Chains A and B, each alone.
Chain A
Amino acid sequence: MSQLLPTDGPAAAEIDLPLSPEVTEPPGAPQLYDAGTLAALLRVADLTLTDEWQQKLLATVNDLEPALHRLRALDLGETPPATAFDARWF
């Protein structure tokens, strides 16, 4: 029976993390990631990528910028993060 694993193709080209239409770049928002910034961050992450892959990744991280701008524009005050840690031992 079928044991096909995925290959790249037209239908593989999308990621299931859509931003709502309202999440657009605020006017005048600075560009957060350029080629130089990305290269520096990848060095910090100890991640070696070819030039071609750095270009591909740059396009993807630029898609994240509207989310980052929107997040940073919000005053979160004393709001704690939504995380949980259970100190009991197993």
Chain B
Amino acid sequence: MDAYALSITQASELIAAGELSPVELTESVLARIEYAEPHLNAFVEVTADLAMIAAKAAEVEIAEGGYRGPLHGIPLGVKDLYETAGIRTTSSSKVRADYVPDTDSTVVQKLLGAGMIMVGKTHTHEFALGGVTPTTRNPWHTGHIPGGSSGGSGAAVASGECMVGLGSDTGGSIRMPAALCGTVGLKPTYGLVSRRGVASLSWSLDHVGPLTRTVRDTALVMDAIAGYERSDPASLDLVPQSYTADLDHHAGDDLTGLTVGVPSNFFFDDVDEEVDAAVRAAIGQLEFLGARVVEVTIPMAQYISAAAQLIVRAEAAAYHRRMMRASGDLYTEQVRRGILAGEVVLATDYIDALRMRTLVQREWSAMVIGAGVDVIAAPTCPIPAPPADLGTRTWASGLVEDLGRAVGRYSAPANIMGLPGLSVPVGLSSGGLPIGMQLMGRPFEESTVLRVGQAYEQTKATALPVLAL
């Protein structure tokens, strides 16, 4: 197997044993990038020279007994919303085409401190305001979108261009590209991972987290990036935990004692037949593994997306207020329209949307506690990746839906509630496109979500392959 195709867990074991050097691994990944990028355009910028310098330094450090741990020497793709010292951070926008930060964002700082090798900056839908990532294509079928807004990271991880892709998730932007590209993606609980140095879309709903090829790889990254930081006002000071240690603790266990809630409304409304079948089959696997499966009703479903819409519009307009007046013509048209719309949302409506969020949270927690649910399992997206020219679909309900919007229809609840949401691959459509299952847990119960995700993952004969193009 080529080194770029390894999981982090596999590669780190080889590096720790001296059987694979960070230089060999980085060279393999950079060669893969050179091969795949003409097809995918997942990266805004590839930092090959810097990566090789870092890889050589890691090789020397490890040889001298300075092994830092399982992320040492592992290639990293950084979504271009994350500030990187001395490296352009464009948010995939002409507005910030020449912006070079002086410092790293907190998550990048932590991962580089753990020894990761940054190979480049991955594309985002401009300023994270979209689920398409029009710059980039899906490695499973380059005529299709990768999803967004962390579409560059999704495409890069799925195709072997890096082993971790950083993402951000305000309305599904980690989980959607994970589902559509066939990777694992975790949106952690609101407040668990610092957002300092990551361009904001909506302070109230923004989350940052990883996309990887396996659940355990996600746990490895979470071990490094979770933690309190005062400069993020949402950050919470909690007792640190090891997500990999928890997975190890439960190694060999089945899912007996855990309860999986399956929504009877909202999440399976207007869903593609193949997505429905794949996710229900995966839920069947969870039951086979010993989980109790119960039906749940999503409360206030009709209000969740409405509240998210108003909060994101108003906060995005505030964030972009000065840039929009100085450089409005540099935004792509639809992103500019989306941001400008927030300029005319009344403050009272915005505040009432935040009040509605409180109500929805109360109802959701009552539902989860009342049913004794540990995780809710549902499709991540209603459809597999649509074609790059999008189009519409008419559902049995009569709804005519734009496919660019459809991909994000199931995402908002985890953002509004701030809950951990993990997308894991559960199969392929007849068109050969990945399907993702979303596992939503209780707040700060990432360990449970990861445990369920890994238990499912291990029922498959092999992990999803790193793709040939």
Q: A12 and B90: CB pair below 8 A?
A: no
Q: B390 and A13: CB pair below 8 A?
A: yes
Question: In this assembly, does B52 line the interface, its C-beta being within 8 Å of a C-beta of chain A?
Answer: no
Q: A18 and B305: CB pair below 8 A?
A: yes
Q: B134 and A45: CB pair below 8 A?
A: no
Q: CA separation between A81 and B375, bound complex, in Å? A: 26
Number of interface residues, chain A, beta carbon within 8 A? 54
Say which residue of B135, B310, B332 sits within 8 Å of A71 (CB atoms). B310
User: Smallest CB-CB separation from B126: which chain A residue?
Assistant: A6
Taking CB atoms and an 8 Å cut-off, the chain B residues in 430-466 that contact chain A are none
User: Smallest CB-CB separation from B361: which chain A residue?
Assistant: A82
Q: B45 and A60: CB pair below 8 A?
A: no
Interface string of A71-82 (1 = CB under 8 A from B): 110101001111
Interface size class of B (residues with CB under 8 A): 35 or more
Contacts of B354 in A (CB 8 A): 81-83
Mark B residues whose CB is within 8 Å of A.
33-34, 37, 41, 43-46, 48, 90, 92-94, 97, 120, 125-126, 129-132, 134-135, 145, 148-149, 171-173, 176, 204, 230-231, 233-234, 266, 269-270, 301-310, 312-313, 324-325, 332-335, 337-338, 340-341, 343-345, 349, 351-359, 361, 388-390, 395, 397, 399, 401-402, 404-409, 412
Interface string of A41-75 (1 = CB under 8 A from B): 11001110100000011001101101110111010
Say which residue of B129, B266, B341, B408 sits within 8 Å of A60 (CB atoms). B341
Q: B306 and A66: CB pair below 8 A?
A: yes
Cβ of A86 to closest chain B Cβ, rounded Å: 6
Q: CA separation between A19 and B352, bound complex, in Å? A: 17
Question: In this assembly, does A7 line the interface, its C-beta being within 8 Å of a C-beta of chain B?
Answer: yes
Contacts of A71 in B (CB 8 A): 303, 306-307, 310, 349, 352-353, 356
Q: A20 and B301: CB pair below 8 A?
A: yes
Interface string of A1-34 (1 = CB under 8 A from B): 1111111111111111111111100000000010
Contacts of A79 in B (CB 8 A): 355-356, 358-359
Q: With A17-B171, A81-B354, A84-B234 as given contacts, are A11 and B340 in contact (CB-CB < 8 Å)?
A: no
Q: A76 and B359: CB pair below 8 A?
A: yes
Say which residue of A18, A19, A83 sits within 8 Å of B204 (CB atoms). A83
Interface of A is mostly: loop
27 contacts between A and B (CB under 8 A): A1-B34, A1-B46, A3-B44, A4-B135, A5-B44, A5-B94, A5-B97, A6-B93, A10-B390, A11-B390, A12-B332, A12-B335, A13-B334, A14-B130, A14-B404, A15-B338, A18-B305, A19-B305, A20-B304, A21-B269, A21-B401, A22-B302, A47-B325, A61-B341, A70-B303, A71-B306, A86-B233
Q: B97 and A17: CB pair below 8 A?
A: no
Q: B344 and A12: CB pair below 8 A?
A: no
Contacts of A38 in B (CB 8 A): 344
Q: CA separation between A8 and B93, bound complex, in Å? A: 11
Q: B352 and A1: CB pair below 8 A?
A: no
Q: B97 and A19: CB pair below 8 A?
A: no
Cβ of A81 to closest chain B Cβ, rounded Å: 4
Cβ of B390 to closest chain A Cβ, rounded Å: 6
Q: With A12-B132, A16-B125 as given contacts, are A68 and B310 in contact (CB-CB < 8 Å)?
A: yes
